Amino acid sequence: MKKRRWIVLALCAATLLSCVSCAGGGDPEAPDAESSSIGEHETEPEAWIQDKVPDLNFNKDTYTVLNHNAKDSAPAASTGEILPDALLERDLYVENRFNVSIEYNTLNGSSNVIAQVQNTVSSGLDEYQQVCLNMVFGTSGLAMAGYVMNLHELEYFDNEQPWWDEDATKAFQIGETLYMIGGDVLPSSILSMQAIIFNKTKMTEQNMAFPYQLAKDGEWTIQNMIEMTQNQTRDLNGDGKIDTDHDFYGFTSWHLDSPHAFFYGTGCSVFSKDENNVPYYDADAQRIEDIYTKVYELFVTNESYYETDVSKSRVPFEVFRDGRSLFLQGALSNAASPDFKTMEDEYGLLPQPKYQATDEYKSFVNGGSAMLCVPTTVQDTAFVGAVLEGLANASYNMVRDELIETLCKSRNAPDPESAEMVDIIINGRTFDFGYIHYFPSSHSAAIMFQSALDKKQSAVGRFLARCNDRNLQSKLTEFLKAYGVEE
């Protein structure tokens, strides 16, 4: 294994998502610092859930991780902040367990990471053992171009363990291949999950009941949100028009997040998998149309603020922060930001509303969230598989609680009820084959709700009709061929 010392070019204080160029939604600002200590997990506590990797000694071999930014990287030294230090402690534990050295090469921008992978693999260099890159424009492209390997070829890798994201496996396993995976080893995937943030102060002033109990009872639906936002958008300064500088909105959102949050958050997809794990077109047109009717009522009929201008992508969050919106579509990272801590009004967190109470809660994961992959030039698959599984296992046991309890609950959520909501949100993480493969080409299979809402169309039928077109089928054939699957 080639050893090389890399310097991390950029370290983030907390793992927050910033991907306006891909899918908006993340807040680049980090949460407030909290004190932490290193070394609390030198040995496994009784509650530790162990992996199946045996005792191995890799004689100080170097395991190098290539990232598109540092949100999932351990810092080089203690920062005094809980999450980064938990990642550092995790790495120290794995280094000691396998006698390895874990290093990070963090480049600014996903295009630089893609180019680095392409160059090293084309040159036949076993330079990186792990690559973390945004799933929409990054890992999926590398997979189809043959630069990353089928993770099932790694010894000791076990995607059925709880530290790997089950829904990511369901979405991204094609046939017998799995080229990308998410899980607890990537905290950013949790912080980039979509949620509904609501203004508790404004609800109290209007004698409105908080929706917590509805959510706990499994009855938090789009219809509830429609009813709560009716007649909320209003002209505060009496100038006869509604604008984002002065007036109040029932709901604010950004078009590269909210349409997808409502599409995938209500269980919509235009693809299913057959018994061989091969995706095929399978849209429930009537259900999708019925759901969009509700979405249209919430966004358009109720005069919500829906921003489509990339240069104004932060305005919906600023309007909510300033106390001039009842609801906001945002990521968990938004609720974590110091910017929101300056908010005078109190706020709470809710899961994405369902279409019907009998549905399950589903939480859309922003397209800029990292997925993990392994270059094809890796020579020692036992080494990579063992360290990768060890990192994921240690993340589950050492980082997950720090992330959920400290960041998402104690700090992000200002009340115990919101803490319960975070559990619902995280447990509902959802991924989709169509989203990551068709979003880059702006195909209706991935963006039909966005396209319809951008044009304020009252029905999604014509966008849905375009889905199962020649372009979709030819691309699907292309994707499957790239993954080594014949239709």
- DSSP characters over 280-323: EE---HHHHHHHHHHHHIIIIITT-EEE--GGGTTHHHHHHHTT
Q: One-letter amino acid identity for 461? A: G
pLDDT of residue 378: 98
Predicted confidence band of residue 406 (pLDDT cuts 50, 70, 90)? low
Looking at the domain assignment, is residue 53 inside a domain? no
* Domain presence at residue 408: yes
Q: Are residues 354 and 473 in the same domain?
A: yes
DSSP collapsed to 3 states, 439-455: CCCCCHHHHHHHHHHHC
- Report how many domains make up the chain: 2
Residue 261 domain-assigned (yes or no):
yes
Assess whether 206 and 248 both reside in one domain: yes
Does residue 338 sit in the same domain as residue 200? yes
Same domain, 237 and 162: no
Both 339 and 467 in a single domain?
yes
Q: Is the pLDDT of residue 267 over 90?
A: yes
Residues 314, 229: one domain?
A: yes
pLDDT in tens, 171-196: 999 999 999 999 999 988 888 899 99
Tell me the pLDDT tens digit for each residue of 59-100: 999 999 999 877 789 999 999 888 899 999 999 999 999 999
Pick from 325, 323, 291, 321: nearest CA to 305: 325
Q: What pLDDT, on a 0 to 100 scale, did the predictor assign at position 332?
A: 87
The residue whose two tokens read 């910017």 is 339
Residue 437 covered by a domain: yes
For position 91, which CATH number holds?
3.40.190.10
Q: Are residues 69 and 164 in the same domain?
A: yes
Point out the least confidently predicted range of 127-141, 212-226, 271-285, 473-487. 473-487
| CA 71 centroid distance within chain | 12
Q: What is the mean pLDDT of residues 101-114?
A: 93
Domain identity same for 128 and 271? no
Domain extent for 389: 61-190+367-412
Q: What is the pLDDT of residue 409?
A: 54
Residue 44 — very low, low, confident or very high, per pLDDT cuts 50/70/90? low
Pair of tokens at residue 47: 């509650």
* 303 and 399 both lie in a single domain: no
Q: How far apart are CA 73 and CA 92, in angstroms?
A: 13
What is the pLDDT, as a whole number, of residue 42? 52
Q: What confidence tens digit (pLDDT) does each residue in 209-244 have?
A: 999 999 999 999 999 999 999 999 999 999 999 999
pLDDT tens track for 292-334: 999 999 999 999 999 999 999 999 999 999 999 999 999 988 8
Tell me which of 452 and 469 has the higher pLDDT: 452
Q: Are 96 and 339 in contact (CB under 8 A)?
A: no
Residues 274 and 232 reside in one and the same domain: yes
**What's the pLDDT at 333?**
84
Asked if the structure places residue 45 within a domain, the reply is no
Identify whether 418 is part of a domain.
no
Residue 9 lies in a domain: no
Are 392 and 448 members of one domain?
no
Q: Which amino acid is at 4?
A: R
Mean pLDDT, residues 440-455 = 90
Task: Say whether both 302 and 354 belong to one domain.
Answer: yes
pLDDT interval class at 270 (50, 70, 90) = very high
Q: What is the enclosing helix (H) or strand (E) of 385?
A: helix 381-394
pLDDT digits (tens, 9 = 90+) for 133-149: 998 888 999 999 999 99
